[in-house]
Structure formats: structure tokens, C-alpha cells
Structure 1
Amino acid sequence: MRHEDIWRAIDTLAAERGLSTSGLAKRAGLDPTSFNPSKRRTNEGKLRWPSTESIAKVLIATGAGIDAFAGLVQGARALSPPRAGARRVPVIGLAQAGQDGFFDDGGYPTGGGWDHVALPRTEAALADDPHAFGLTIHGESMEPVYREGDIIVVSPAAPVRTGDRVVARTAEGEVMAKVLTRRSVKRIELSSFNPEHPMRSFAPEQIVAIHRIVWATQ
């Protein structure tokens, strides 16, 4: 395995998705300059290799399998066709999800602004939910459990219980990944894993949707 083979595979993957290498890095939740040609060697000329974490995030963001990526590294000119029956779900950024036009009145994904991600395996909790969708984590409120760039998948059909990791959407359009700490007829309380972020408390009518997180890239 050679340095240039790895980078050629990343370039090919970007091209097949109609992206620049900067666009590919951004879609994967990485610094947009991560894959730039200028970053592939140090100022002293030493080879710089992409991290396994970066490659994993790129594969998840594009829906490409590790075997297909390995084929590109070994000299294949294009990806193999997607595996039949692979489950794909719509995905957008967590911050973007708070904007108008991405959910219908039932809280389900709608419109044409969504990307898609292929799950590495069919999850039982998702198998019967055609409305499952993914969000790319932004910010640090869920660290160390979820980090910037991780993709979480929620299932509107999954039952939600106290203690579950959830995605909540407020009547004002804010979308957040939290832990459901309390749910009563008077209050809904959502906490963060990061202790630097305070608990959020809402009246039930302030929350228009709350869905359980059933899968994450990590």
C-alpha cells in the first residue's frame, strides 16, 4: 500500500460523488482542507497519511464500503455497485435541521435538501421505519459520547423512555441531541453529556417532536 494509492482512492471517491476533495471532507464533518494536496506532505517533504478515523467518516458519509474503498486503493477505477438491500437514510446537519423546509407537519423528513448515508448493517430498530433519518453532530454538548462530525440516526417509530438519547425539535425550530432526563405532563427536561452545558427544561407544548437515537457512527 503506497501513499499515493490512498490519496488517489480518496480523490476517486470524491469525484464519484461529484465533490471536490474539500467538499468530501466537509460532508464527512472534517476540516475542509483535510484532503487538500498541500496537506499530503509536510513542509519538509515528509509523507502525511490520512487517519483511519478520517477514512471511516468519509466512507460513512458517502455510503461507500470498506471493500470498495480497498479496491480503489488497489487500482480500481470506480467503486463497485452498492450492495443490494443496503439501508439508506436521509441525513442533514444538526444545525441545518432547525431551518424551515426539512420536516413536514408530522415531523418526518421532506424536501430535496437531504443527503443520504448507507448504514453498514440493517438495524432491527430501523427495519420497519421508513421515516428514519440521520443528523450530523455539530458542537460539543454531547461529548464525549458524540463528537463533531458523528452521524446519529433516529427512528420516529421507536418508543422513547426516560434515560434515552434523543433528538428533540422545539416549536421555535431548534433541533438538539440530548438525553431525556424527565418527561411529565408539565415538563420535559433534556440534559447533555458534557457537564459544561446546562440542563434544558421545556413545557410539553414547546417540543413538537422527540425521537430516540437508535444508531451512531462513532
Structure 2
Amino acid sequence: MQTASTAEMCKFAHMDDYQRRIREQVQELLARTGMDATGLARAAGLAPSTLTRFLNDPDVKHSLSGKTMQKLIDAASAGGAPAIPTPPGKSEVRPAPDAPVPVLAEMKRDVPVFGTARGANGDGAFVLDMSEVVDWVRRPPGLIGVRDVYALWVEGDSMEPAISHGDLVYLHPKRPIHPGDRVVIVRREGLEDQHVTMRAYVKQFVRRAGGKVITRQFNPDKEVEFAQDEVVSMHKVLSMADMMGV
């Protein structure tokens, strides 16, 4: 695999951490499939400029949404279009023999998607029902054999542009959480009709301090604090690297 030149690294030095991570993950997909950006975009049903501009334009302001990344992963997993012939004198990038790209049909649809409903208090909260499985989705290659993985359809836009309303996110309750990780926090919020209300929030974990869990959201950009004794659970939203096993 070719490494980025110093000039190229400087070219994208202004990108924020999220953009850099997404760019690296797309480059990994390209390397695993042997495709170029135009071929992968077309295989995913996207306009080629969606990917080429994100990868090549140092002044790009947007990132790729979770929905777009899922389309790229699905296209890469399915094999997509054949790689464009490599020009003479340049090395051809192909998946390693011991790391084949899984065929989409071979990825088991055995990850449960639990029910969610938009909250009414306007703070990005949603009601999470862990007793209701509303769908089953495919298991990414990096999660084969991993227990307790589940998924959610995100409600709300408080984490845009990193995570958008309607995005599918995968979570694991036992993965360690570090500052900067995206998380789903479930908080106990009093009694309603003799039942404890559990509200869930998608945020970025910052730190624990003074009996509080301190998080960040992006839309609008601000810190959000949760009392530690009200937090029922905090599960990591798995990154593309987690899901691809890289």
C-alpha cells in the first residue's frame, strides 16, 4: 500500500479529527477492494464527485455521513466494480490473500436493531426500548463472533455532521470507552405512570469529573453533562475501524 507523501499530509493538515478518520477509512476500503474512488462511488450508487472531492479537495468543508459510509461498506463487501487497470510502472493495490473482502450475501443478518422513538423534550433525547427488536442487520466483518453487539437507528440531529438523524449505528456494551469516542448514554429520568423513563442520548464522551459524565454534541456545539448516578449505561458507538476489523 502506498503511503501518503509529506506534501499530501500537509495538504490535509487542517482537517478535523473526524474528517481525517473518515478519509483514512475510505482509503482502507479502496485498498481492500483494489478500486479507485470513482469505481467505489459508482458501485455504491453515489455520484463519483461525492468521494473524489472529499478525498482530493483540501478545502472541502463537509464530511461523509453515516448513510454514505454504510453504502460504501456494502459496495466494498459485495465486491463492487472491477478495479481500473493499473498504469504501467505503478504497483497494483489488491486485498491481502489472508484478508479477503467478505461477500455481502455471506454477512449474516443477525445483529438486532432495537426500537427507538423521538423524545419530546427537544434536547436530542430519544426513548430506547431494549425489549423490542424492530429489525435485523448484517454483521460487519470485524464483529464476526463478537457477542452482545446491537444497532440503533439514530433519532435527532444533535451529533451532525458526524452522525445524522436516521443513521444506523452499531454498539457494544463491553468495549472500553475513551475520550473522543461516540457513545449512547441511557439515563434514568424519574417516574411516569409508575415506570422509570429511560432516555437515550448520542454524544461524544469527554471525561468523568465531580460525579458527572461530561460529553459533547456538535449541533449546536456544546458540552452536555449527566449526573453519574442517573446514568444506567454508556455504550460505545463502534467506529468504522471496529466494524471492519482494522
Q: With structure 2 as the length reference, what TM-score do the two structures score?
A: 0.47
C-alpha spacing 1:98/1:67, structure 2 compared with 1 (3 Å): same
* Paired residue secondary structure (1:95): strand
Per-residue CA deviation, residues 44-73 of structure 1 (Å, 9 max, x unaligned), is xxxxxxx935xx959x69xx8785999xxx
Q: CA deviation at 1:85?
A: 5.1
Equivalent in the alignment of 2:208: 183
In the alignment of these two chains, the number of paired residues is 143
User: Given the alignment of the two structures, is residue 122 of structure 1 paired with residue 141 of structure 2, yes or no?
Assistant: yes
Equivalent in the alignment of 2:164: 147
The structure 2 residue matched to 1:52, chosen from 42, 45, 54, is 45
User: Given the alignment of the two structures, is residue 156 of structure 1 paired with residue 173 of structure 2, yes or no?
Assistant: yes
Verify the 8 A CA contact 1:86 1:122 in the aligned structure 2: no
Equivalent in the alignment of 1:95: 117
* Paired residue secondary structure (2:218): coil
Name the CA distance, whole Å, in 2 between partners of 1:114 and 1:215. 23
Structure 2 alignment gaps of length 5 or more: 1-43, 47-65, 82-103, 119-124, 190-197
Q: How does 1:198-217 map to 2 (within 5 A)?
A: 198-215=222-239
Q: Which has the higher strand share?
A: 2
Over the aligned positions, Cα root-mean-square deviation in angstroms equals: 3.8
Percent identity reads: 27
Letter in 2 for 1:164: D
C-alpha spacing 1:130/1:179, structure 2 compared with 1 (3 Å): same
Per-residue CA deviation, residues 85-138 of structure 1 (Å, 9 max, x unaligned), is 5353111455369547x33xxxxxx34x4211114x312xx3453211111122
Letter in 1 for 2:110: R
Verify the 8 A CA contact 1:179 1:190 in the aligned structure 2: yes
* Paired residue secondary structure (1:159): coil
* Paired residue secondary structure (1:205): helix
Equivalent in the alignment of 1:169: 186
Verify the 8 A CA contact 2:111 2:149 in the aligned structure 1: yes
Name the CA distance, whole Å, in 1 between partners of 2:225 and 2:117. 20
Letter in 2 for 1:118: R
Name the CA distance, whole Å, in 1 between partners of 2:210 and 2:160. 29
Name the CA distance, whole Å, in 2 between partners of 1:83 and 1:67. 8
C-alpha spacing 1:161/1:68, structure 2 compared with 1 (3 Å): closer
Verify the 8 A CA contact 1:129 1:156 in the aligned structure 2: no
* Paired residue secondary structure (1:114): strand
Letter in 1 for 2:209: S
Equivalent in the alignment of 2:121: none
Q: CA deviation at 1:186?
A: 1.1
The structure 2 residue matched to 1:192, chosen from 217, 223, 227, is 217
Q: With structure 1 as the length reference, what TM-score do the two structures score?
A: 0.52
